[in-house]
């Protein structure tokens, strides 16, 4: 079965760090452009970061640039989002998505609070 | 950044009746390759988003044919010919022509009257 499964969310204090994982199964993650998209509680969807299939290009939303890093482990078929210097407004459900946003994971909740 | 504006933001509908959602972009979504990268998504309550339509009018696998996407340039529409109970949720349009960033509309909440 083709699927994406996120993990790594949780409660973190402002200024802290967290690494999200997105494990792919049923397809090779490195064959597709992959994205992280987030949704703050009760709000709409916001694109966060992207990695080109060959890994040569990564792009970020201005609000996370310099704080978040998207990466990939081809051997584990897993996408990551390293989040540093977290702020309260980073609180959201984080989804990974691929295949032109055709595939989405179930999301993982990140809460930034003291 | 391209701003995507949806209307209405709330859409009460009667089962079996048609529904229409508009999405306007702040600039043309025609890419230099000739394609228009405008997609529609449905997020049912408590679920992840699901893509319904890509490149304006192409339905994804398994999407009922009562969903139709249309439009060009800066003006796009998602039509539901006869609303069913499973169509309830929030609909988003998204552009992928002028990236980064990929940008979503604010969302249109469809509910049954």
| Whole-angstrom distance, CA of residue A69 vs CA of residue A49 | 8
Size of interface A-B (CB pairs under 8 A): 54
Output the six-digit token pair for B8: 């209405």
Question: Which tokens belong to B27?
Answer: 């600039």
Give the pLDDT of residue B73: 98
The residue with tokens 């999200």 is A20
Q: What is the pLDDT of residue A39?
A: 98
Task: List B109's β-bridge partners, or say none.
Answer: B10, B90
Best of B5, B49, B54, B93 to mutate (most A CBs within 10 Å, chain A): B49
The verdict on a CB contact (< 8 Å) between B99 and A106 is no
The pLDDT value recorded for residue B31 is 98
Let me know: does A101 contact A39? Beta carbons within 8 Å: no
CA distance A17 to chain B (A): 23
Is residue A80 a contact partner of residue A71, using CB atoms and an 8 Å limit? yes
Residue A86: pLDDT band by 50, 70, 90 thresholds?
very high
Share of chain A above pLDDT 90, in %: 99
What pLDDT is stored for residue A110 in this prediction?
98
CA of A102, closest CA in chain B: separation in Å? 6
Nearest CB to A101 within list B43, B51, B105: B51
> What's the pLDDT band for A41 if we cut at 50, 70, 90?
very high
Which residues, 6+ apart, have CB-to-CB distance to B57 below 8 Å?
B68, B69, B70
Residue B62: what pLDDT? Answer: 97
Q: How far is residue B52's CA from residue B42's CA, in Å, rounded to a whole number?
A: 7
Which are the contacts of B25, defined by CB distance < 8 A and separation ≥ 6? Answer: B2, B3, B4, B5, B38, B74, B76, B95
Q: For the residues A45-53, what does the mean pLDDT come to?
A: 97
A57 CA to centre of own chain: 16
Q: Is A104 in contact with B48 (CB distance < 8 Å)?
A: yes
- Residue A70: predicted pLDDT: 98
Q: Which residues of chain B have pLDDT under 70?
A: none
Contact A106, A86 (CB under 8 A): no
Q: What residues of chain B have any CB closer than 8 angstroms to a CB in chain A?
A: 39, 41, 43, 48-51, 54, 60, 90, 92, 94, 96, 99-107
Query: Å from B98 to nearest chain A CA?
Result: 13
Q: What is the predicted pLDDT for the residue at A29? A: 93
- Contact (CB<8Å) B92/A107: no
Question: Among residues A72, A46, A73, A74, which one has the least CA distance to residue A61?
Answer: A46
CB-nearest to B60 from A45, A62, A102 is A102
Tell me the per-residue pLDDT of B77-102, one tens digit each, with 9 for 90 and over.
999 999 999 999 999 999 999 999 99
């Amino acid at each position: 079965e083709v699927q994406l499964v996120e993990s790594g969310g949780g409660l973190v204090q402002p200024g802290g760090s967290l690494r999200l994982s997105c494990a792919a199964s049923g397809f090779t993650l490195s064959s597709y452009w992959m994205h992280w998209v987030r949704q703050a509680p009760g709000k709409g969807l916001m694109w966060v970061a992207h990695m080109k299939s060959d890994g040569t290009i990564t792009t970020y939303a201005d609000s996370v640039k310099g704080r978040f890093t998207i990466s990939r482990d081809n051997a584990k078929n897993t996408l990551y989002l390293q989040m540093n210097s977290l702020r309260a407004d980073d609180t959201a459900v984080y989804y990974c998505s691929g295949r032109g946003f055709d595939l989405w994971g179930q999301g993982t909740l990140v809460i930034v609070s003291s | 950044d391209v701003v995507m504006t949806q209307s209405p933001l709330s859409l009460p509908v009667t089962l079996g009746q048609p529904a229409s959602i508009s999405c306007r972009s702040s600039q043309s979504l025609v890419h230099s390759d000739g394609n228009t990268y405008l997609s529609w998504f449905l997020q049912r309550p408590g679920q992840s988003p699901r893509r319904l339509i890509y490149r304006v009018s192409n339905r994804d696998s398994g999407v009922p044919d009562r969903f139709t996407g249309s439009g060009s340039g800066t003006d796009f529409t998602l039509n539901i010919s006869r609303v069913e109970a499973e169509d309830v949720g929030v609909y988003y349009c998204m552009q992928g022509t002028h990236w980064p960033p990929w940008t979503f509309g604010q969302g249109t909440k469809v509910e049954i009257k």
